[in-house]
Amino acid sequence: MNPACAQLAVLRFGSDGVSTSSDSVAVEAPLEILVGERHLAMTMRTPGHDEELAAGFLFTEGLVQHRNQIRSLTGAGNRVVVETAAPLPVLPARQFTMTSACGVCGKTSVEDLFSSGKQPIPQDVFTIHSDTLRTLPEVLRQSQTGFHQTGGLHAAGLFDAQGRAILVREDVGRHNAVDKLIGSLFLTGLLPAQKHILLVSSRASFELVQKSGIAGIPMLAAIGAPSTLAVETAQRFGITLAGFLREDRFNVYAGEHRIVHS
């Protein structure tokens, strides 16, 4: 059974009356992330790929930088325990409380938000043709098995310049979906992902742009709209940002030089 979905009894109202039926609903449940015995974060997530989520969160929060800093990840129930090879330099005094719609999580100021971003991404490593870019939403939809069942999950997909899906993750929270994807890349030694594009099924928030930059991903595309802070962050870190991506159109808000359209 898919842990991301639950079957619930419902009353279905239609033009032909009312009937008893069942419906697939996306699972939202708490996940506690611990480093050793110390509580680090609590998030509401969709079960599945919990170890990737924990690794991605630690990496995108700047708490680890290299795979060998993590000795083990043990997920059981609604907990993931991370054992590190050495004590982390400084665990934040603030408590991370992440909702499924988290935008800034445990950050304390706008400059704190920017400070965890890395150096600007190389500008001449990745390009994608506009025709290829417009094909990505349909490829992502075909890979969204949980969404097809429930209609209630966000997706994050990593693609190459030829439009091939490399990795797709789903979650009730868009930030969790991205952390799962980045966590998988981190654990398998595939970062920085400088020759790929990240597509999200949601809007493009500041934090999604920031996570892309930390992972070395040069381009973020979104089915929805970006925010002003997302655009500012993309410009600041040299990331290409596209929004309202459809089969027939899209907008580019930063880094247009990576899109070939001749």
CA distance 203 to 108: 23
Q: Catalytic residue, from 33, 54, 63, 102: name it.
A: 102
How big is the CA angle at 252 (ends 251 and 254), to the nearest 5 degrees? 155
Pairing of the two strands 79-84 and 128-129: unpaired
Residue 102 annotated in active site: yes
- Which residue has tokens 């979650």? 171
Positive or negative: CA dihedral 203, 156, 60, 79: positive
CA distance 88 to 86: 6
- The residue among 207, 2, 198 whose CA lies nearest residue 101 is 207
Instruction: Locate 159 and state its tokens.
Output: 């693609």
Instruction: Detail the DSSP E strand segments found in 64-218.
Output: 70-76, 79-84, 96-98, 128-129, 154-159, 165-171, 197-200
State the catalytic residues.
Answer: 102
